[in-house]
Homo-oligomer: A and B are copies of this chain.
Amino acid sequence: MYLIGIDVGGMSIKGGIVSSEGQIIYKTTVPTAEKYTADYSISEDIRKVIDALLDGAKISVKEIKGVGIGQPGSIDSKRGVIRYSNNIALENVPVVDELKKYYDLPIFINNDANCAALGEYVFGAGKGFNDIVFVTLGTGVGTGFIIDGKLFEGRECAGTEGGHMQIDISDSAQACSCGRKGCWEAYASATALMRQTKAAMNKYPDSLMHKLAEEEGKVSGKTAFEAAKKGDAAGQKVVDTYISYITSGLINLTNIFCPDAILIGGGISNEKEYLTDPIQKAINEERFGAAFNPYVEIKTASLKNDAGILGAAALAL
């Protein structure tokens, strides 16, 4: 038996046929439409992906155990409805009901960060842990929580927005896309790191970051890290401050959940030990009751580019 995992993104809808051990045996992609309407639901494009997967892999519906869909935004996973998504403008779309008209299969949908957390737990770096805080450092900061072996979604699946935890109440706090000020996401996302890198470059015209950004053709999430690795003091300062922001939110979540493991995903997680080592040290020393409370392991998430498909597939397990 196989699973189908669908990873809905702003640019494309990716899909994969996945074995129950987490091997992707066939993949395909359909571009995300510029606009979905009452007449042209996103379910239509998801259907295209499912059909292309079954055709391409020459697998019949009977061999499929279920379909999982990972979708950015606020998802009512119990009713199978996209409550709201702002990246891809969607409101109250009953995706599961729409797809059930075409497939006699169990179909599930959940928030993409929740899927990624579940995927790491089932197939990735979270295997063997029972209580996981997953964080993805990308355009925003997404969080997902496994509590006692189960995905935690908050009441009516409306929680787990750890990225929108205020860590800066000062008057000069950074504005967040959610309307609040000082959210963790506005400090610890890749977007925030690029903003912090640019600010430091303006302040330090002699920093190596200028040369590295020129070589790459842009300021990226790697600029400050690369500069720091080459001994650039201004780059190191950006990295240290950025890591202290990540750590602030992770200690908060540790004090609330006390997970076995914190898994860090998203583009920035490619920095691996360069990121996890100082975070591990800070968690060891600064979490509440550090002297007597159980150890919390910091790890890089392992599913990388396939995290979306595998996480969605894990919903159907």
CB distance from A58 to the nearest CB of B (A): 41
Task: Write out the residue numbers on chain B whose beta carbons fall within 8 Å of the beta carbon of A226.
Answer: none
**B252 x A165 contact (CB < 8 A):** yes
Q: Does A158 reach chain B (CB closer than 8 Å)?
A: yes
Q: Across the two chains, which residue of chain B brings its CB closest to A132?
A: B155
8 Å CB contact of A256 from B84, B170, B256: B256
Q: Which of A147, A159, A259 has the most chain B CB atoms closer than 10 A to its own CB?
A: A159
- Partner-contacting stretch, out of A6-14, A25-33, A37-45, A286-294: A286-294
**A167 x B167 contact (CB < 8 A):** yes
Q: Does A240 reach chain B (CB closer than 8 Å)?
A: no
Q: Does A83 reach chain B (CB closer than 8 Å)?
A: yes
Taken residue by residue from 148 to 160, chain A's Cβ proximity to chain B (1 for < 8 Å, 0 otherwise) reads as: 0000101110111
CB distance from A257 to the nearest CB of B (A): 5
CB distance from A168 to the nearest CB of B (A): 5
Number of interface residues of A (CB under 8 A): 48
**Interchain CA distance A105-B152 in the complex, whole Å:** 34
**B169 x A168 contact (CB < 8 A):** yes
Task: Write out the residue numbers on chain B whose beta carbons fall within 8 Å of the beta carbon of A244.
Answer: 169
8 A Cβ contacts from A150-185 to B: 152, 154-156, 158-162, 164-170, 172, 178-180
CB distance from A109 to the nearest CB of B (A): 16
Task: Write out the residue numbers on chain B whose beta carbons fall within 8 Å of the beta carbon of A161.
Answer: 255-256, 288-289
Q: Does A130 reach chain B (CB closer than 8 Å)?
A: yes
**A248 x B159 contact (CB < 8 A):** no
Given contacts A164-B255, A169-B167, contact A291 B84 (CB under 8 A): yes
Task: Write out the residue numbers on chain B whose beta carbons fall within 8 Å of the beta carbon of A294.
Answer: 155-156, 158
Task: Write out the residue numbers on chain B whose beta carbons fall within 8 Å of the beta carbon of A164.
Answer: 252, 255, 288
Given contacts A169-B244, A251-B180, contact A84 B162 (CB under 8 A): no
Given contacts A130-B155, A131-B155, 9 further A-B contacts (CB under 8 A): A84-B291, A91-B292, A147-B147, A155-B257, A155-B259, A158-B294, A164-B255, A166-B167, A167-B167
Residues of A within 8 A of B (CB): 74, 83-84, 91, 130-131, 143, 147, 152, 154-156, 158-162, 164-170, 172, 178-180, 187, 244-245, 248, 251-253, 255-260, 286, 288-289, 291-294
- A sample of 9 cross-chain residue pairs with beta-carbon separation below 8 angstroms, ordered by A number, consists of A74-B292, A83-B289, A155-B260, A162-B255, A165-B165, A168-B168, A168-B170, A170-B172, A253-B256
